[in-house]
Amino acid sequence: MKKTDGQNRAVTAKWRPATRAVRGGTWRSEHGETSEALFLTSGFTYDDAATVAARFAGEDGGMTYSRLQNPTVQMLEERIALIEGAEACRAQATGMAAMTAALLCQLSAGDHVVAAKAAFGSCRWLIDHLCPRFGIETTVIDSRDNAAWDAAIRSNTRVFFFETPANPTMDIVDLAYVCGLARAHGITTVVDNAFCTAALQRPLEFGADVVAYSATKLMDGQGRVLAGAVCGSQQFIDEKLLPFQRNTGPNLAPFNAWVVLKGLETLDLRVKKQSENALKVGRFMESRVPRMLHPGLASHPQHNLAAQQMDACGAIFSFVLDGGRAQAHALLDGLELIDISNNIGDARSLMCHPASSTHHSLGAEAREDMGVGEGMLRVNIGLEDPDDLIEDLDQALTKAGL
Ligand SMILES: *Cc1c(COP(=O)(O)O)cnc(C)c1O
């Protein structure tokens, strides 16, 4: 294997983001393949016993076992780190494996976490159910309220955990304020950046410590594989994440890493075009539904904050109908082009009803508290012609009585 310039930080540091997304992290075998090779191997062989000992002692940089290192996975990790502007990155089996690892690798019984109450259902489950089982205290707050972050800090607070924009309420967290507050108190911020990716928002630039991903979403971008990633300082990755990951094994399969590597080559293009389409469709929706939630629209209460920290507002928005679940389901059933699906980040437009899908298991009370009502629908806008999407929504809205 030959490391190309994509593995040379002195060179990649000079590359602009689009170049990093295409060439970052690439290694080449002796065949000189153009596209990254797929190393579907669990283990590695050695020329002699002394080499084995040297590798396990960390004196030889070669690979030993795919739970510890794999060339295809390492290419992806380097590419994501470069796009994110992070010192290091480790790929994970899924987005939830990434969130779990990012939290548990650094928390112990007796620690305290402050988390946003508006969050992806499984992220809330980690905070509400998993952490407390292991003696980790948690507090959930309205993440839009800067003073609430201040007020929730205790002497044992170790981590702030949030999404921005949040799934599916589109709540925006003030990155500069909240990350600055955390820094001042020696608290580590873990930001779930799934709705943006570094193509739209780079939390590390605002003082975040750890950025965690569902790479299933915009990074793959074509609805093929589950994947995740955790980015942070070299010290965080080496001292906290790696010991946890190597011994618990939430690793990404090489095939899935390869798929996401190819996805990243078009990330910037897709995410910017999908944001543009979402804004166009969002403007139409604003004229037809009682409540639109899209940070790119001036009607969003945090529109100005979003404009300060996001390059564009992304492919995803939500809206609320007055007729509750019956009307929301009727709208879904009336769609002819847009698919009913709870995935996001896909090049296809997809729509779901969070209360009866992604946020079902949280229960009505927690949903109410985080602002996920029965009339809410969440939309992922893809790469179709936005006028076709508008026509589809128009006819489905009419069928649902709007
Ligand atoms: C989808 C999602 C996750 C979970 O990712 P998986 O890859 O499905 O495990 C976590 N956070 C957010 C914000 C998501 O949208």
CA of 120 to the centre of ligand 1 (A): 7
Distance (Å) from CA 11 to ligand 1 centroid: 33
> Which domains does the chain show, CATH number per domain?
2-264 (3.40.640.10), 268-399 (3.90.1150.10)
Residue nearest to atom 6 of ligand 1 (CA): 95
User: How high is the pLDDT of residue 49?
Assistant: 96
pLDDT digits (tens, 9 = 90+) for 286-307: 999 999 999 999 999 999 999 9
pLDDT of residue 2: 80
**Gap between the Cα atoms of 102 and 65, Å rounded:** 22
Contact 72, 251 (CB under 8 A): no
Q: What does residue 221 show for φ and ψ, rounded to 5 degrees?
A: 75, -5
How many angstroms separate the alpha carbon of residue 121 from the centre of ligand 1? 9
For ligand 1, atom 1: residue with the closest CA: 214
Pocket of ligand 1, beta carbon within 6 A: 94-96, 99, 120, 122-123, 163, 167, 192, 194, 214, 216-217, 226, 228, 344
Low-confidence ranges of the chain (pLDDT < 50): none
60 CA to centre of ligand 1 in angstroms: 36
pLDDT at 168: 95
Of 185, 134, 141, whose CA–CA distance to 159 is shortest?
Answer: 185
Ligand 1 atom with the shortest distance to the CA of 215? 7
Distance CA 164, CA 195 (A): 7
Taking the centre of ligand 1 as the mean of its atom positions, its distance from the CA of residue 96, in whole angstroms, is: 6
The pLDDT of residue 1 = 76
Alpha-carbon 148 to chain mean position: 24
What pLDDT is stored for residue 4 in this prediction? Answer: 84
Element (H, E) at 137: strand 137-141
Ligand 1 centroid distance, CA of 69 (Å): 24
Angle between helices 267-286 and 386-399 (to 10 degrees): 40
Nearest CA residue ID for atom 7, ligand 1:
95
Distance between CA 296 and CA 302 in Å, rounded? 9
- Statement: the pTM of the whole predicted model exceeds 0.85: yes
Question: What's the confidence (pLDDT) of residue 106?
Answer: 98
pLDDT digit string, tens, across residues 117-169: 999 999 999 999 999 999 999 999 999 999 999 999 999 999 999 999 999 99
287 CA distance to ligand 1 centroid (A)? 30
Q: Ligand 1 centroid vs 231 CA: distance in angstroms?
A: 15
The residue nearest atom 8 of ligand 1, judged by CA position, is: 95
Residue from 94, 122, 211 whose mutation best tests the ligand 1 pocket (most atoms within 8 A of CB): 122
Please tell me the predicted confidence (pLDDT) of residue 245: 97
Structure tokens at 243: 């010991």
- Distance separating the N- and C-terminal Cα atoms of the chain: 60
Q: Classify burial at 47, counting beta carbons within 10 Å of its beta carbon; exposed 0-12, middle 13-18, buried 19 or more.
A: exposed
Nearest protein CA to atom 9 of ligand 1, as residue: 95
Looking at the CA of residue 97, tell me the nearest atom of ligand 1.
9
Q: Which atom of ligand 1 is nearest to the CA of 163?
A: 13
Query: What's the 98 CA to ligand 1 centre distance in angstroms?
Result: 9
Which residues in 151-283 belong to E strands, given as ranges? 157-163, 188-192, 210-214, 228-232
